Chains A and B, each alone.
Chain A
Amino acid sequence: MTTRYLILEDGTSYKGKGFGAEATTTGEIIVNSNMLGYQEVITNQIYHNQIIVFTQPSIGNTGINHKSFEAIVTNTKGVVVKEYSNVSTNRLGNLNLDLFLKQHNIPGIAGIDTRELTRRLNKKPTMKASIVDIDDEHAFDQLHATVLTNQQVKQVSTTSPFPNTGDGNNIVLIDFGLKYGILRKLADLDCNVIVMPWDTSSKAIFDLDPDGVVLSTGPGSPLDLPSSVLDMIKDVQKEIPMFSMGLGHELFALANGANVYKLDGEHHGSNHPIRQIITNQIIYASQSEGYAVDPKSIIHDQLLITYVDLVNGTVQGIRHRDYPAFSVQFSPDGGPGPQDSADTFEEFLENVSSQRR
């Protein structure tokens, strides 16, 4: 194992041991506190621009498993961990975390005091970091000079439609950085799903004659997407039941006149209590968010806040007052994380059936 360095924009350097790809990488560094599900996390497209620090000290323990992909093509920029294991659990016994990261050109660095790093990152706004071979001035210069793309959705979204067939309702799923968990949940409910590119127009959607429309999670800022996306949402929500998650939720809010702001610190984990306002019930869900809907900007005769994070007060869900459309900030499909909110998919399908003509 070679010695490599994790360097941060604030000038800090950590010495560690490289694994995965040997490439130099730069991305926003964020902390994920899920205790299990490293494969789901690494393959989530939401991390397109990001280097992930795992607080769980030991990853790689269960190999790479065909049920745990959130995307086959993964775009995570790097993995930072205390320790990793090279266990294979696939049937050929030949695919472990290290090899997987090599295959996808993702560098990893181990032997890091991730607890100290987490505590440091929690105190500061999101910053950039690099995994490099030498932590010299040049490396820091490079890090500072690197401009991360804001065209992430364009890069991760499918360019051509594809189906995920089923016998039930016809659902159009707009791919902003599709997380397979959404497909799995819709498949559990027998939906016939058509996955469409992020820039699909409302007309193209209507032409598919869907019973419902789902907006997926995705990477980056909703403010970086063109207003045509918001126009699509405005058109579709009037006609067809709609359910949005993550980035989709943020876009849904924007389309309905609310503002979205960048969080001081991103939150990635499943330990926060989330209150469902209408029932007062507290649930836990997989959260991975860098942006949130500003509650003060919500136009109350249009939108209703449905869920709130009790730790940082962020809006976690909204519902349209006039249309059968709602959204959540978290990932109700889990992957990784609790299944407490999986019933939101059923709720969506209830909307679908009651709208069906």
Chain B
Amino acid sequence: MIDNEIKKVLILGGGPSKIGSETELDASAFQMMVALKKLGISVLVMDNNPFSLTLSEVQPANIFIKEINVKNVIDVLNKEQPDALIPITGGLRAVHVAQELINQGILEDLNVKVLGISKESLKVLNSPDKMKAAINSVSEPAVPSKIIRSESEAFAVVRDIGFPVNIKKVNQRESTERIICNNAEDLSDLLEDEFKDDSVCVIEKSIVGYKQVETVGVRDQTNTKILIAGLENIDAVGVHSGDSMIITPVQTLNDIEYQNIRTATFKIMDYLNIIGACHIQFALDTNDGSNYYVTKINPIINSSTALAARSTGYPLVYVCTNLLLGNSLNEIKLHNNYHHLTPIMEPTLDHVVVKMPVWPFDNIREADQHLGTKMKSVGSTIGVGRTVEEALLKALRSSQFSPRDVLPSMKEISNDELISQLIHPKSDRLLVLIEALRRGYQIDELEELTKINQFYFYKLKALLDVEELIIKEPMKLSTIEVAHDFGFGDGMMAETWQEPIESVRALYHAENEYPTYKTIEPSAGEFDQNIRSFYSSYEVENESHRESEKTALVIGRGGNKLGPNTAADYYTAEMLIQLHKIGYKTIVMNNNPNALSLSPQISDKQYIEPIQLGAILNIIELEKPVRVFIPGNRHFLLKQLKQYTNLNVQVLPPDQETGVVLPKDVTYALNFFVTKEDSYFISTEKLISNNKSDLDYVTAYETPYVLDESTLEQDIQLSKEHIASSNWIGLVQILFNQNKNGESEYVGIRPLRLTETIFLSRATGINWVRALVRFYTKKLDIDALMASMPDISNITTQMQATFPFKQLNVKVDHANSSQEVGAKIKFKIND
């Protein structure tokens, strides 16, 4: 039963994206907000992430654009007096704030409940010791560890738990590295140094090389529990699970092992009194999977819960929202697209999902590319298929930086380097594994070196066999059929065969062969559900049919990389919402499991596919969209799609390839909305560079930039002239540079970039993505829009990019915009 006392809640957002938490937090907050509103609850949102969809979809009076910290949250609680606080979609930072508020007794004073996380789990969240105690108290195994004060104590422990062990010095001031000791000699050498100054160490059994498996469970207040998903890490313990390839459903556990961790998950959730979702990590002995440890408990929304939901089609956030308000699993009423029992059916899959991390090393070359216990990837992609091979290859294709569809090779890598990387994994792990197989390494040998289950090597080998077939038997239908079954794309075959992609496609189209789309739903075909999320396969039955006569296809950005990617995802989501509002049926294509733009609430249909020409054409042929939108600049893709002249393709913001004048130095800009007939001044904007006034290093923005009246008038006039002599329409930015004497000159013109479009929306309170969508579909009333422009002269808005340098342990003097991981925004009221 719903708790009727809760009428108003405050959701804490996730703040700027960073390594370890990207758009999944906002996507969850958004879905939670929608669900709460549906239950008639008033929602307040607090966040300082400018690329938050949740902020955009809540009425302005309920938005608090502030950094999530104790002071700011107290301010809002005092002012707004909500009945409850929801920190679970805000990542660890928000949960820590909630912890602090509880500890200080503030929530009790204000009579504010914390929803979604129990007192018991708040206690274990920060403390490995308390977590271990919790695990042990339900008779489950935690990794054995002990505090030691002398060498003899250390050896006494080792006699108990065996080598290898990790030693970590306990030091209040700084966090110290864990050092691994494989034998007695290592240990006594190390301890000789450690115990000089009365040090205290923690000695812990090393579980490096164990199999890493995660579970996501849900529990309600009547104690009903279901397991949403088991997520198997392909890489062994030693690689952070965020940097590991992940596969679901679990592939290499037997049922006994799987039921052990399912039962353990539930015991822990009971003990911690979790109402909602919980993510738990396990390490299993590869020689005997019934020997395992519980290694981590995360009772909040994170990328693993997001992956579990995306992979199964289980409406996890909607369900959790209901649970935290007091509904039980069998009381939840879902949208009638779902079978009414879906909340309480344990998801069972008839497809395979593989998640591939995306690393930032192309943009931050200084960083150490080795993978370890600290997460380094900034995003991920998923491949969905009906076989492991198909899912694996689609995930790989989706994760590649180049939109060209080729199976990448690591031919150039030396043998020594190859062996070293097999043992000490680096990014692009999968390519190294493939290369090793190409060079004839035996599977048992590779299993030993990498601690990756042999099963995956068999699968990779099968892919290589198909690659060989593609090379040997070009332009044959039988080859294409096999290749399709294994997840190869048309582009890859076309490239190998040096044929136009159209010829390859014609070969199988002639036999009336087309991909079949299957629903991503949690009942493995048991129920007919109208879930709108699909992936392709080449089989008998196609479940996705043309959506409508008036469909807009929006091609998402794929896995998050550094640069304006989280912004692009927000932009994509906003486009979908706006296109829907003006009467289009909307279809999104994407492969980032954390994507905002894949939230089922904001589009009519979602395709989880590689963003490559063949896959795009397949969808276009089925759906026959009247408009195709590409958010963000993607020259290669655009060039490819432009060949299909019957398509109505629109890039937003418009393509920067031609007609852009970009200077080296810049100080400020004027932003305009430009129609064919006229141009309208919107705002002045200060461009703040990390390297003098170099445009490439502009990663912070401030608006308005105060100019004296005559300069402003002059600049506007000059801008309008440049705009008139250019072909640009839509949002256009005119760049100015100011010299030491304060004299400014026109230096360039470009379409307003998408990060700045969002910044402009935040600063003006006008949704400029909406304006652009309406403009390009001829539905914009420009006069009404400009008339609604507020006076923003008394509020300064600042947006600043954030970078992952600290997490990657590198020092970069002049960060550029291709290194951004997220951004934060703030407002200042001018006196």
A interface residues, tally (CB under 8 Å):
48
- Interface presence of A202 (CB below 8 A): no
In the bound complex, do residue A40 and residue B344 qualify as a contact, i.e. CB atoms below 8 Å apart?
no
List of B residues within 8 angstroms of A282 by Cβ = 222, 224, 329-330, 344
- Interface presence of A115 (CB below 8 A): yes
- Interface presence of B604 (CB below 8 A): no
Most chain B CB neighbours (cut-off 10 Å) among A34, A35, A335? A35
In the bound complex, do residue A334 and residue B345 qualify as a contact, i.e. CB atoms below 8 Å apart?
no
In the bound complex, do residue A281 and residue B387 qualify as a contact, i.e. CB atoms below 8 Å apart?
no
List of A residues within 8 angstroms of B330 by Cβ = 273, 282, 310
Nearest-neighbor residue (CB-CB) of A270 within chain B: B346
Give complex CA distance A111, B258 in Å. 26
Task: Please tell me which stretch of B192-200, B522-530, B589-597 contacts chain A, meaning at least 4 of its Cβ atoms lie within 8 angstroms of it.
Answer: B522-530
Of the residues A40, A55, A85, A116, contact of B255 by C-beta under 8 Å: A40
Nearest-neighbor residue (CB-CB) of B343 within chain A: A273
Nearest-neighbor residue (CB-CB) of A114 within chain B: B350
In the bound complex, do residue B524 and residue A334 qualify as a contact, i.e. CB atoms below 8 Å apart?
no
**Closest-CB distance, A73 to chain B (whole angstroms):** 20
List of A residues within 8 angstroms of B255 by Cβ = 34, 36-37, 40, 68, 334-337
Known: A115-B541, A338-B259. Contact between A58 and B387, CB under 8 A? yes
In the bound complex, do residue B540 and residue A87 qualify as a contact, i.e. CB atoms below 8 Å apart?
no
Nearest-neighbor residue (CB-CB) of A39 within chain B: B254
In the bound complex, do residue B526 and residue A33 qualify as a contact, i.e. CB atoms below 8 Å apart?
yes
Chain A residues numbered 258-307 whose CB sits less than 8 Å from any CB in chain B = 269-273, 280-282, 284
- Interface presence of B249 (CB below 8 A): yes
> How many of chain B's residues touch chain A, expressed as a range?
35 or more
List of B residues within 8 angstroms of A68 by Cβ = 254-256
In the bound complex, do residue B226 and residue A119 qualify as a contact, i.e. CB atoms below 8 Å apart?
no
In the bound complex, do residue A62 and residue B348 qualify as a contact, i.e. CB atoms below 8 Å apart?
no
Give complex CA distance A118, B458 in Å. 28
In the bound complex, do residue B388 and residue A58 qualify as a contact, i.e. CB atoms below 8 Å apart?
yes
Chain A residues numbered 39-74 whose CB sits less than 8 Å from any CB in chain B = 39-40, 55-58, 61-62, 65, 67-68
Give complex CA distance A282, B347 in Å. 15
Of the residues B223, B345, B516, B528, contact of A311 by C-beta under 8 Å: B345
Q: Interface code A329-357, partner B: CB below 8 Å = 1, 0 otherwise?
A: 00000111111000000000000000000
- Interface presence of A83 (CB below 8 A): yes
In the bound complex, do residue B262 and residue A338 qualify as a contact, i.e. CB atoms below 8 Å apart?
yes
List of A residues within 8 angstroms of B548 by Cβ = none
List of A residues within 8 angstroms of B258 by Cβ = 36-37
- Interface presence of B693 (CB below 8 A): no
In the bound complex, do residue A55 and residue B540 qualify as a contact, i.e. CB atoms below 8 Å apart?
no
List of A residues within 8 angstroms of B92 by Cβ = none
In the bound complex, do residue B223 and residue A269 qualify as a contact, i.e. CB atoms below 8 Å apart?
no
List of B residues within 8 angstroms of A284 by Cβ = 226, 346
- Interface presence of B539 (CB below 8 A): yes
In the bound complex, do residue B541 and residue A118 qualify as a contact, i.e. CB atoms below 8 Å apart?
no
Known: A56-B249, A271-B348. Contact between A115 and B387, CB under 8 A? no
Of the residues A37, A57, A311, contact of B254 by C-beta under 8 Å: A37
Q: Interface code B307-350, partner A: CB below 8 Å = 1, 0 otherwise?
A: 00000000000000000000001100000000001001111111
Known: A55-B350, A58-B387, A271-B346. Contact between A116 and B526, CB under 8 A? no
List of A residues within 8 angstroms of B525 by Cβ = 31, 55, 115, 118-119, 122
In the bound complex, do residue B540 and residue A310 qualify as a contact, i.e. CB atoms below 8 Å apart?
no
In the bound complex, do residue B540 and residue A122 qualify as a contact, i.e. CB atoms below 8 Å apart?
no
- Interface presence of B352 (CB below 8 A): yes
- Interface presence of A199 (CB below 8 A): no
In the bound complex, do residue A35 and residue B349 qualify as a contact, i.e. CB atoms below 8 Å apart?
yes
Give complex CA distance A87, B459 in Å. 11
Nearest-neighbor residue (CB-CB) of A120 within chain B: B541
- Interface presence of A82 (CB below 8 A): yes
In the bound complex, do residue A334 and residue B259 qualify as a contact, i.e. CB atoms below 8 Å apart?
yes
List of B residues within 8 angstroms of A135 by Cβ = none
- Interface presence of A113 (CB below 8 A): yes
- Interface presence of B750 (CB below 8 A): no
**Closest-CB distance, B308 to chain A (whole angstroms):** 13
Chain B residues numbered 233-257 whose CB sits less than 8 Å from any CB in chain A = 249-256
Nearest-neighbor residue (CB-CB) of B444 within chain A: A93
**B-to-A contact residues, CB < 8 Å:** 222-224, 226, 249-256, 258-259, 262-263, 329-330, 341, 344-352, 386-388, 454-455, 458-459, 485, 516, 518, 523-526, 528, 539-541
A/B interface sample: 9 pairs, CB < 8 A: A14-B540, A33-B526, A55-B350, A57-B387, A62-B253, A111-B485, A115-B350, A282-B330, A338-B346
**A-to-B contact residues, CB < 8 Å:** 14, 31, 33-37, 39-40, 55-58, 61-62, 65, 67-68, 82-83, 85-87, 111, 113-116, 118-119, 122, 269-273, 280-282, 284, 310-311, 334-339
* Interface contacts beyond A33-B350, A58-B387: sample of 7 additional A-B pairs, CB < 8 Å, sorted by A: A35-B349, A62-B455, A113-B541, A115-B525, A116-B541, A334-B255, A336-B255
Nearest 5 pairs of A and B residues by beta carbon: A37-B255, A116-B541, A336-B255, A113-B539, A118-B525
